[in-house]
Protein backbone atom coordinates (compact mmCIF):
# COMPACT_ATOMS: atom_id res chain seq x y z
CA UNK A 1 0.00 0.00 0.00
CA UNK A 2 2.86 2.39 0.84
CA UNK A 3 4.45 1.79 -2.60
CA UNK A 4 1.12 2.59 -4.29
CA UNK A 5 0.77 5.90 -2.41
CA UNK A 6 4.37 6.79 -3.26
CA UNK A 7 3.81 5.97 -6.93
CA UNK A 8 0.64 8.08 -7.02
CA UNK A 9 2.44 10.99 -5.35
CA UNK A 10 5.35 10.78 -7.83
CA UNK A 11 2.87 10.63 -10.74
CA UNK A 12 1.00 13.67 -9.42
CA UNK A 13 4.26 15.65 -9.14
CA UNK A 14 5.24 14.69 -12.70
CA UNK A 15 1.82 15.75 -14.04
CA UNK A 16 1.83 19.05 -12.14
CA UNK A 17 5.37 19.82 -13.30
CA UNK A 18 4.35 19.13 -16.89
CA UNK A 19 1.29 21.37 -16.57
CA UNK A 20 3.41 24.20 -15.16
CA UNK A 21 5.81 23.92 -18.09
CA UNK A 22 2.90 23.83 -20.54
CA UNK A 23 1.38 26.99 -19.08
CA UNK A 24 4.77 28.75 -18.99
CA UNK A 25 5.37 27.71 -22.61
CA UNK A 26 2.55 30.01 -23.73
CA UNK A 27 4.59 32.98 -22.57
CA UNK A 28 7.18 34.64 -24.82
CA UNK A 29 9.61 37.20 -23.40
CA UNK A 30 7.31 37.90 -20.44
CA UNK A 31 4.27 38.65 -22.61
CA UNK A 32 1.53 36.14 -23.43
CA UNK A 33 0.77 35.43 -27.08
CA UNK A 34 -2.79 36.45 -27.91
CA UNK A 35 -4.70 34.15 -30.28
CA UNK A 36 -5.53 36.08 -33.43
CA UNK A 37 -2.23 37.98 -33.58
CA UNK A 38 -0.19 36.42 -36.40
CA UNK A 39 2.97 37.26 -38.32
CA UNK A 40 4.05 35.78 -41.65
CA UNK A 41 7.59 36.23 -43.00
CA UNK A 42 8.79 35.62 -46.56
CA UNK A 43 12.35 35.68 -47.87
CA UNK A 44 13.94 34.93 -51.21
CA UNK A 45 17.14 35.54 -53.12
CA UNK A 46 17.18 36.14 -56.86
CA UNK A 47 20.55 36.77 -58.47
CA UNK A 48 22.31 39.15 -56.09
CA UNK A 49 19.16 40.60 -54.50
CA UNK A 50 17.60 39.39 -51.27
CA UNK A 51 13.96 40.35 -50.69
CA UNK A 52 12.12 40.07 -47.37
CA UNK A 53 8.46 40.62 -46.61
CA UNK A 54 6.25 40.52 -43.55
CA UNK A 55 2.50 40.65 -43.05
CA UNK A 56 0.62 40.67 -39.79
CA UNK A 57 -2.86 40.16 -38.46
CA UNK A 58 -3.80 41.70 -35.15
CA UNK A 59 -6.76 41.50 -32.79
CA UNK A 60 -9.23 44.41 -33.08
CA UNK A 61 -8.39 47.28 -30.78
CA UNK A 62 -4.65 46.65 -30.77
CA UNK A 63 -1.93 48.67 -32.48
CA UNK A 64 1.49 47.38 -33.42
CA UNK A 65 5.02 48.33 -34.31
CA UNK A 66 7.21 46.06 -36.40
CA UNK A 67 10.79 45.63 -37.48
CA UNK A 68 11.79 43.55 -40.49
CA UNK A 69 15.46 42.67 -40.80
CA UNK A 70 17.60 40.91 -43.38
CA UNK A 71 20.43 39.13 -41.62
CA UNK A 72 23.66 37.46 -42.72
CA UNK A 73 25.40 34.65 -40.88
CA UNK A 74 28.85 35.97 -39.96
CA UNK A 75 31.24 33.76 -37.95
CA UNK A 76 28.34 31.93 -36.30
CA UNK A 77 26.35 35.08 -35.47
CA UNK A 78 23.41 36.63 -37.31
CA UNK A 79 24.20 40.24 -38.24
CA UNK A 80 21.53 42.64 -39.48
CA UNK A 81 22.52 44.12 -42.85
CA UNK A 82 19.24 45.93 -43.62
CA UNK A 83 16.13 46.79 -41.58
CA UNK A 84 12.86 48.66 -41.89
CA UNK A 85 10.32 49.80 -39.31
CA UNK A 86 6.59 50.34 -39.63
CA UNK A 87 3.22 50.43 -37.89
CA UNK A 88 1.06 49.08 -40.72
CA UNK A 89 0.09 45.56 -41.70
CA UNK A 90 3.01 44.82 -44.04
CA UNK A 91 6.66 45.64 -44.63
CA UNK A 92 9.10 44.81 -47.42
CA UNK A 93 12.79 45.45 -47.97
CA UNK A 94 15.57 44.28 -50.24
CA UNK A 95 19.34 44.45 -50.35
CA UNK A 96 22.22 43.32 -52.58
CA UNK A 97 23.93 40.18 -51.32
CA UNK A 98 26.98 38.11 -52.16
CA UNK A 99 27.88 34.59 -51.10
CA UNK A 100 26.80 33.47 -47.65
CA UNK A 101 23.75 32.46 -45.61
CA UNK A 102 20.85 34.88 -45.16
CA UNK A 103 17.45 35.03 -43.47
CA UNK A 104 14.68 37.45 -42.58
CA UNK A 105 13.63 38.24 -39.02
CA UNK A 106 10.38 39.98 -38.07
CA UNK A 107 9.71 41.36 -34.60
CA UNK A 108 6.24 42.71 -33.85
CA UNK A 109 5.06 44.38 -30.65
CA UNK A 110 1.32 44.69 -29.96
CA UNK A 111 -0.17 47.42 -27.73
CA UNK A 112 -3.61 47.94 -26.20
CA UNK A 113 -5.52 51.25 -26.28
CA UNK A 114 -3.57 52.53 -23.25
CA UNK A 115 -0.25 51.95 -24.99
CA UNK A 116 0.66 48.99 -22.78
CA UNK A 117 2.61 46.18 -24.42
CA UNK A 118 0.34 43.11 -24.49
CA UNK A 119 1.99 40.73 -26.97
CA UNK A 120 5.20 40.14 -28.90
CA UNK A 121 5.89 37.83 -31.82
CA UNK A 122 9.28 37.11 -33.40
CA UNK A 123 9.42 35.03 -36.59
CA UNK A 124 12.27 33.90 -38.84
CA UNK A 125 12.26 32.86 -42.47
CA UNK A 126 13.98 29.85 -43.88
CA UNK A 127 17.73 30.29 -44.40
CA UNK A 128 19.02 30.86 -47.96
CA UNK A 129 22.62 30.01 -48.78
CA UNK A 130 24.18 31.37 -51.98
Q: Does 56 share its domain with 118?
A: yes
Q: Does 17 share its domain with 58?
A: no
d(CA 86, CA 71): 18
Per-residue model confidence (pLDDT) at position 126: 96
Q: Which residues span the domain enclosing 6? A: 1-30
Q: Does 26 share its domain with 37?
A: no
Q: Does 54 share its domain with 20?
A: no
Per-residue model confidence (pLDDT) at position 92: 97
pLDDT at 67 over 70: yes
d(CA 30, CA 86): 23
pLDDT in tens, 98-107: 999 999 999 9
Look at the pTM and tell me if it is higher than 0.95. Answer: no
pLDDT in tens, 94-129: 999 999 999 999 999 999 999 999 999 999 999 999
Q: What is the CATH number of the domain that holds 44?
A: 2.60.40.10
Q: Does 124 share its domain with 64?
A: yes
Per-residue model confidence (pLDDT) at position 32: 58
Higher pLDDT, 1 or 45: 45
Q: Select from 107, 55, 57, 54 the least CA-distant residue to 80.
A: 107
pLDDT in tens, 10-59: 444 434 434 333 333 333 444 556 888 999 999 999 999 999 999 999 98
Q: Does 8 share its domain with 43?
A: no
Higher pLDDT, 59 or 84: 84
Q: Does 5 share its domain with 48?
A: no
Number of domains in the chain: 2
SS3 117: strand
pLDDT category of residue 1 using cuts at 50, 70 and 90: low
Amino acid sequence: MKKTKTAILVLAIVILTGMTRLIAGAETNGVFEIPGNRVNVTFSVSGSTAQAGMTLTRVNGLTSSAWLRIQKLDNGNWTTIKWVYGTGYSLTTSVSVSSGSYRAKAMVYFYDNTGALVDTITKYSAIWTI
